[in-house]
Structure 1
Amino acid sequence: MNSILRQYFLILSFTVLLTTSGYAQMLDLSDAKIICFEKKDKLVLKSVAVLQEEIKKRTNISLPASKKWTNKSQPIIAVGREVDLGRFPDKYRTAISQMKNTGEEGYKMLVFEDTKTVFIIGHDSRGVLYGIGKLLRKMEMGQGGLFLPADLEISSTPRYPIRGHQLGYRPKTNAYDAWSVAQFDSYIRDLAIFGANSIEIMPPRTDDDFTSVHMQLSAMEMITEQSKSCDTYGMDVWMWYPNMGTDYTHPDSVQKELAERRQVFKAVPRLNALFVPGGDPGDLEPDVLFNWLQQVAEVLNQYHPQAKIWVSPQVFKPTQAWFDVFYEHVNKQYPWFGGVVFGPWVKTPIREIRKIIGPDIPIRKYPDITHSVSSQYPVPQWDLAYAITLGRECINPRPADEKMIHNALDQYAQGSISYSEGSNDDVNKFIWSDQDWDPETPVIETLRDYGRYFIGPDFTEGIAQGMIRLEKNLQGPLLVNQGVTRTLQQWQDMEKKASESVLTNARFQMGLLRAYFDAYIYRRLLYEAELEQKARDVLAEAKSLGSKVAINQAKAILSKAWEAPVASALKERCLALADSLFKSIGAQLTVEKHHAMGGRGNFIDYIDRPLNDVIWLMDVMAMIAKEPEEATRIAEIEKILQRNNPGPGGFYDNFGTPGSWARVKSAISREEDPGNLESPRITFGIGLVGQPWVHEVTAQGFEGKASPRPWMTQVTALYDQPLKIVYDNLDPRGSYTIKVAYTGRFRSRVKMVANDILVHDYLKTGNQPIYEFQIPQQAVSEGVVEFKWIAAPGERGAQVSEIWLIKN
């Protein structure tokens, strides 16, 4: 009777699931037995254990494993390598043999519905693990029930041999430094289940502190454990090892550095490759760098004889001479040399690197999937409200963007190991791994696997669509993005039906937090934009009200943003979820409460940053109020109101806004150049003298005065790529003056031309914000002017935030 009731409730509980999952028939594997003939292969045996453990965790079902075939009627999950196929009954062997052949790390999955038998046959031992990973991703697992689509037939081989992610145990990360050995092992397993075969770790000494308050083990102890975990899953171990020393030529300094590396290499039981960046940090001249790496290789191979060293041409201010020597060394193909890494701040486009280096020299991508601004692949034309509050390292699911970025460049490399600084890019990791396995994989398929496997079958579609909605929240001007509210409503619907285990699931919490955060910022932006307009309306009445009365009323209106805030319940939910994430995975979203490193994931600290021009307006109004003469005060108020007015026949542009972006000229699409090495991008940060170099976007003062919002965004061309901005419909007989605001973090030397006629020669930006120049009349004679800014060789790029084109 108990068995009958159990079956009844299982069928009842999965009825809705089966009718909405898109599968016509589901195979019940709740009473299945695992058959695996393997006795010695550690990875195959580990893979079977992964299958058992992950099913047990989600269903409370313990599937037994046997090394003998059974002819009983119970369901079977048969696991093995292709070399084992001859040991299975003829019926199954024949059908599996007729499937498309697989290559290294590939697998075949086939369901025999009539006998309730599922086969996972790996091309090799790793293939078994990835086949089981795919099986787990496709199963519908709930308490007491285990189901699989009955029509599954998959023969799959990974497109690229390098598929992985960086998991650095250091304070700069926003969560990793709080993880235990068990948490790292679980995460490495998760990545393997989605096809990753490599993990990149870090030595104790990087451009960071050695310890943090969160660390449960020393860095040296943890990298040993990370290496051990990878080894149990048959995964390659890479190590990112920057050159942090001050001298790599003096014998004493060299011996000290080699001694450190000897200690590190000895500590890790598995190390397949070493990645040494050319810079950021540790800039070295190529001759010094490669001579040093020869010595490192000798030490490395004492402990890991097959390990190779990979290098990136990654420097902040490179010259052509630097690159020439670098690639000359690369093409010598030293015995210890593994290949070239293409990552952030590599100036040469990857397709050009492919032409420069020998055809048999491999390239590995090092994509920045973790940052949203000041990064290799920033959110395109991001709204300033998000840049100010979500910042550089927020929870950032960008599934469509990640696929586009991956597929734009994948053909030039042998795969990738991503740059990650914490849990914030979790969704992006799984998207990237699936694309490295097969670039044809639809994003929605990965997201459905993600929701089904990590959250639960009841949330498959909700999570998948919810992550897509979070990415859409970030696209375009926030002020008119009404979809932000709908996104929150959809996440709240899931929140209402979620069990306690789902509500405490970090992956659900991260998505839910972003939905609440985005909605709060949207509501604040609407409110604060209206407050600013009302304050400006009052200032426009200064002559009739009196300047001081108008200023006081404007201040009172602007102050409502914090004295009478909106949507406080949304903010409180964000704060609560931040606490929950700290508890569940050690995510550090605030500096004071969660002990985050500033500018590294602590976006909750930015939740109430002003979204209008209140800082600048309050500062300017305070100075105006000190003026002794009423006429002077009125005149200064008028300057506030007329700040962006170029006068009759003139033009004004703030290049952080969509309307102005239309003037920016690009010869190549973002889909062809996602990292903007040959096309312009929007950047954030004021970057004037006297301000610290920081990643987060702030409204800090300039020479005792606050900065207006337009100085916080720029159009930027990296390195010596020309920045082109076009104006048409000019008076061909007219005379024009250009006022240009040079703000931005680079502080480069730039020159400006108009239709190739010099307007100004190289000048160092950052010393003052606004410059004014007369435009040569010859440049205007056709009524169309292409302004072009070019950074000097070795600089990081040209940046322009505002232009006033004034008709004289």
Structure 2
Amino acid sequence: MNKILFVFLLLFCLSGFAQTIDISEARIYTSISDKQVLRRSVEILQQEVKKRSRLDWPLLNKLPSDGKPYVGIALESDLSAFPTKVRDEIRKLPAIAAEGFKLLVMPDTKAVFIVGKDARGILYGVGRLLRKMEMSHTLVTVPTTLALATSPKYPVRGHQLGYRPKTNAYDAFTVEQFDQYIRELALFGANSIEILPPRTDDDATSRHMKLPAIKMIAEQARICKEYGLDVWMWYPNMGSNYTHPDSIQKELKERHEIFSTVSQLDNVFVPGGDPGDLEPDVMFAWLGKMAVVLKKYHPKAKIWVSPQVFRPTKKWFDAFYSHVNRNYPWFGGVVFGPWVKMPVAEIRKVINPAIPIRHYPDITHNYSAQYPVPHWDLAYAMTLGRESINPRPHDEKMIHNALDEYGVGSISYSEGTNDDVNKFVWSDQDWNPDMPVIETLRDYARLFFGPEYQEPVAQGLVALENNLKGPLMTNESVSRTLMQWQTMENNASPELLQNPRFQMGLIRAYYDAYTRRRLMYETEVEQEAKDILERVRSGSSLATIQRAKTALEKAWKWPILPDYRRKCFALADSLYRSIGAQLTISKHGAMSGRGNFVDNIDIPLNDAPYLLDQLSKIEKLGNETERLQKIDQLLRRTDPGLGGFYDHFGSPESWHRVVSEVSWEKDPGSLQSPRIGFGVGLVGEEWVDEIKATGFKGQITPRVWMKQAKTLYDQPLKIAYNELDPQSSYRMKISYTGRFRSRMKLTTDDGSVIHDFLQTGEQPIFEFDVPQKATADGKVTFIWNCGEGERGSQVTEIWLMKK
């Protein structure tokens, strides 16, 4: 399709939904003389319009009366400069509160009015106008029906922008890029930015950094101050000792340096752990000392804390909440974030009503996270990994609205630009939880891509989220999503093709389609190898094994869709050049598991590594009969025998056996319900950043061991069977794999003990007899419990075999 015709048709379709007026030649007039109120709001309006339309909107020193379009800006407390008719129309709009604004278009005079409750209201009014205008080269229009009055529901609305190597892009940002990104977040209602000190659980520097961290955080604080935003700092306790006087003085000296460096600091958030675990008595005593230093440089600043701890105990929580409720003068509130065991509704009950709770939602990770993608396909977990480009607009709204009522708002946990869409959706929900997601996406697309892409990009982002839902093998929408993005790509201007946000959507569309096609191809390759092995005959095992190996090797010797693969690498290179996105380790300098999902583009999606390893071992056997026996065992690994049951709890077809008493919609963080987990064998407390088919002393393992059912902390994991033979006895084989090394006990619903507490993570397979009385009624529910302080129960496979 001709590009000009494509754009014309899109604009024609869009014009049918709302009448607009042309304000291309607008001027700006404001009756506000206080620079602390205007700050940079007028400048933002002028600059963002010029970027998109090449038009200059001058600032007038008096209200125009020549009949040409203009934008009038005022505080609600002083509308005297506006005509009586305008004042009357503005006053008819609903009342607004702090940070709120009124936005009104007067079609007959081609005038637009932004009326703020206060300085921030002016900023957010400018942001909403920019979001609603249609701006293209030399043309700016605005809907004639635009008339609204709105105020934020929650007073805290922001995002963490950490300048450290662990992030997948922020450490490559320049000062100018931080300025623009903070500005764009503010246009969607953000009023807080959380920065990080130079010393965290990370390297001190990276090859990408344009400035030393101590200088960049000073710049971040300056930028926020100029925009009139709040500055928070996430400051973990990374010292070696918080009781010894010498260690304390060393830590305080560092706080003096950091707090004196930033020109503004409104709040400091100190996590209880992850990292920096401290006992509550030690932590709160230390925070009291830190508060003295904080107050010296920022007298109004408060300290917030979170009950984040990997291995919590009742004693720890009792002490923590006892301190929280003591009303320390420096104390700001409680933060609810990742690795907080107690649901936020319960926290609200145990702390004093006047103490605020701030959400710290993880919007950046796909699994091993506070809010993982529910029932994610293993192929995606292996390839996209934990920290890919991940627009999840509808999930984010669902998560936000399930828990928002318990807090005063949110500052999200973000590790880079991969969660860009999620940030804007979350800020809009903190402003108004009733905001439809599609409206945020339309604003996002209109502002960052252009009016002709409003609907295509908005729907394209929804399509990318839908790509992640359900089994990948049967998700035919993945190919349609790519078609949508390819159509936009084929008709895009050179400018749009270089737009990092467009490229982030495009790379995901290609990557998802490539992964699905590989999954289909490699699954068929695996089945071909198994079919060959099924036909093995006595005396032919070695030749049969070789043919099966040759079949399995097809996946990498004759790969499919090389053009899609090259496209992904080209887009990754472009994103690195433009915004410092680090999608590979060797070429782009990413940290492992921190956004480098393109490194996983060729990871095997079938059981080839395991099968090849097993076949090589079988080949070495000197006895033909033994080789045939081992081949048969390999092919029938999951066979539970006649009348038996086999389940893999990472598979959708087995999940119905997992008992869930609270829905995902009500418990997105799985603090009261089971979730899908990923991992094989883990030694220690390291993050599972990439899902690989190795574990348990490095052996190559079956692919199914990478995905399991799990619960967090001491929440019981329950798995129920019915339609058992009440006359039979059963023997149970279980594979315990996963990210955690937990001590677990297994009982049944009638009180029978299958096994007492045992340590998992040291071997994968266990076998036990099931007491006949436990299944005498043809039903049984197995119940796993962890000991206190453990991180959770996890079960991968069960064989129930008739004895």
Report the TM range for the smaller structure's normalisation.
over 0.9
One-letter code of the match for 1:467? L
1:243 maps to 2:237? yes
**Displacement after TM superposition at 1:500 (Å):** 1.0
> Secondary structure, in 3 states, of the residue corresponding to 2:309?
coil
8 Å contact 2:681–2:694 — kept in the other structure? no
Q: Counterpart amino acid of 1:720?
A: D
Q: Tell me the distance in 2 between the aligned counterparts of 1:22 and 1:127.
A: 31
Question: Which of 607, 614, 621 matches 1:627?
Answer: 621
State the Cα distance separating 1:67 from its structure 2 match.
2.7
Q: Tell me the secondary structure at the aligned position of residue 206 of structure 2.
A: coil
Residue 565 (structure 1) aligns with:
559
Equivalents in 2 of 1:574, 1:336: separation in Å?
50
Asked if structure 2 preserves the Cα contact closer than 8 Å seen for 1:690 and 1:702, the reply is: no
User: Is the contact between residue 525 and residue 552 of structure 2 (CA under 8 Å) also seen in structure 1?
Assistant: yes
Output aligned runs, 1:195-344, within 5 Å.
195-344=189-338
| Structure 1 residues 349-403: Cα deviation after superposition (integer angstroms, max 9, x where no partner) | 0000000001110000000000001100000110000000000000000000000
Contact 2:39/2:228 (<8 A) preserved = no
Could you tell which deviates more after superposition, 686-695 or 82-91? 686-695
Residues 75-101 of structure 1: per-residue CA shift (max 9 Å, x gap): 111111112212211110111012100
What pairs up with 1:641-790 in 2 under 5 angstroms? 641-688=635-682, 694-703=688-697, 705-755=699-749, 756-790=751-785
**Structure 1 residue aligned with 2:445, among 451, 463, 467?**
451
- Match for 2:702: what amino acid? P
Secondary structure of 1:83 counterpart: coil
Aligned partner of 1:448: which letter? R
**SS of residue in 1 equivalent to 2:532:** helix
Establish whether residue 158 from structure 1 lines up as the match of residue 134 from structure 2: no
Q: Tell me, in whole angstroms, the C-alpha distance in 2 between the residues paired with 1:547 and 1:452.
A: 63
1:164 is paired with a residue whose SS is strand
Q: Does 1:588 align with 2:564?
A: no
Distance across 2 between alignment mates of 1:675 and 1:522? 28
- Corresponding position of 2:486: 492
Who is 1:27 aligned against?
A: 21
Aligned to 1:533: 527
Q: 1:170 aligns with which of 164, 172, 178?
A: 164
1:190 to 184, 187, 190: 184
Contact kept in structure 2, 1:516 and 1:570, CA below 8 Å: yes
Find the aligned partners of 2:182 and 2:698 in 1 and give their Cα distance: 50
Cα offset, 1:70, TM superposition? 1.4
Equivalent residue of 1:724, what SS? Answer: strand
Q: Does the 8 A contact of 2:684 with 2:741 survive in 1?
A: no
| Contact 2:7–2:452 (8 Å) recurs in 1 | no
Work out whether 1:606 is the aligned partner of 2:590: no
Could you tell me how far apart the structure 2 residues matched to 1:153 and 1:765 are? 61
Deviation at 1:23, TM superposition (A): 3.3
Q: Does 1:802 align with 2:775?
A: no
Moved over 6 A (4+): 10-15
Instruction: Return closer, same or farther for 1:689/1:227 CA change in 2, 3 Å cut-off.
Output: closer
Asked whether 1:369 is paired with 2:366, we answer: no
Percent identical among aligned pairs is 59
**Structure 2 counterpart SS, 1:665:** coil
1:353 maps onto 2:347 in alignment? yes
Cα distance in 2 for partners of 1:792, 1:701 equals: 24
Hey, what does 1:6 align to over in structure 2?
none
Q: Quick check: 1:350–1:412 contact (8 Å CA) kept in 2? A: yes
C-alpha contact (below 8 Å) 1:759/1:774 kept by paired residues? yes
Q: Residue type matched to 2:464 in 1?
A: L
Distance 1:693 1:586, change over 3 A: closer
CA contact (8 A) 1:38 1:45 kept: no
Alpha-carbon contact 2:39-2:227 (below 8 Å) kept: no
User: For residues 702 and 690 of structure 1, do their structure 2 counterparts lie closer, same or farther at Cα, with a shift above 3 Å needed?
Assistant: farther
What are the Cα deviations for residues 498-522 of structure 1, in whole angstroms up to 9, with x where unaligned? 1111111100000000000000000
Partner Cα separation in structure 2 for residue 705 and residue 297 of structure 1: 50
Moved more, 33-42 or 736-745: 33-42
**Is residue 69 of structure 1 aligned with residue 69 of structure 2?**
no
- Counterpart of 1:381 in structure 2 is 375
Which secondary structure does the structure 2 equivalent of 1:168 belong to?
Answer: coil
- AA of the residue aligned to 1:694: V
For the 8 Å contact 2:188–2:424, the answer to whether it is kept is yes
d(CA) in 2 for partners of 1:532 and 1:13? 46
Partner of 2:124: 130
1:11 is displaced (CA, Å) by: 14
CA distance in 2, matches of 1:366, 1:471: 22
Query: Which letter does structure 2 place at the counterpart of 1:577?
Result: L
CA distance in 1, matches of 2:693, 2:140: 54
Give the conservation status (yes or no) of the 8 Å contact 1:396–1:424.
yes
Q: What is the TM-score of this pair, normalised by structure 2? A: 0.98
CA deviation profile, 1:415-470 (whole Å, cap 9, x unmatched): 00000000000000000000000000000000000111011111111110001000
Q: CA deviation at 1:789?
A: 0.3
SS in 2 for 1:84: coil
For residue 510 of structure 1, what is the aligned residue in structure 2?
Answer: 504
- The answer to which of 544-553 and 691-700 deviates more is 691-700
3-state SS of 2:179 partner: helix
Gaps of 5+ in 2: none
Counterpart Cα distance in 1 of 2:257 and 2:682: 43
TM-score by length of 1: 0.98
CA contact (8 A) 1:39 1:45 kept: no
Give the number of equivalent residue pairs. Answer: 799
Q: 8 Å contact 1:690–1:703 — kept in the other structure? A: no
Contact 1:520 1:571 in 2 (8 A): yes
Q: Give 1:14 shift.
A: 6.7
Q: Distance in 2 between matches of 1:265 and 1:91?
A: 50
How far apart are 1:704 and its partner, in Å? 5.3
In the alignment, does 2:630 pair up with 1:636? Answer: yes
Q: Match of 2:78, SS?
A: helix
Alpha-carbon separation, structure 2, partners of 1:694 and 1:204: 25
Name the residue aligned to 1:51. Answer: 45
- Corresponding letter in the other structure for 1:303: Y
Question: Match for 1:431 among 422, 425, 439?
Answer: 425
The CA deviation string for residues 99-126 of structure 1, in whole angstroms up to 9 with x for no partner, is 1000000000111111111111001110
Amino acid at match of 2:770: I
The residue identity in structure 2 corresponding to 1:265 is F
Q: Is the 8 A contact 2:681 2:696 kept in 1?
A: no
SS in 1 for 2:699: coil
- Deviation string 1:710-758 (CA, Å, 9 cap, x unpaired) is 1111100100000000000001121001101111111100000122311
Residues 442 and 458, structure 2, Cα contact 8 Å, conserved in 1 = yes
Q: 1:703, CA displacement in angstroms?
A: 3.5
Query: For the residues of structure 2 that align with 1:703 and 1:300, how far apart are their CA atoms?
Result: 48
- 2:80 match: secondary structure: helix
Alpha-carbon contact 1:18-1:26 (below 8 Å) kept:
no
Letter in 1 for 2:773: Q
> Which segment is superposed worse, 86-95 or 374-383?
86-95
Give the drift of 1:688.
Answer: 4.6
The amino acid across from 2:349 in the alignment is: K
Question: Equivalents in 1 of 2:430, 2:695: separation in Å?
Answer: 45
Paired residue secondary structure (1:750): strand
Partner amino acid, structure 1, of 2:312: P
Contact 1:747 1:765 in 2 (8 A): yes
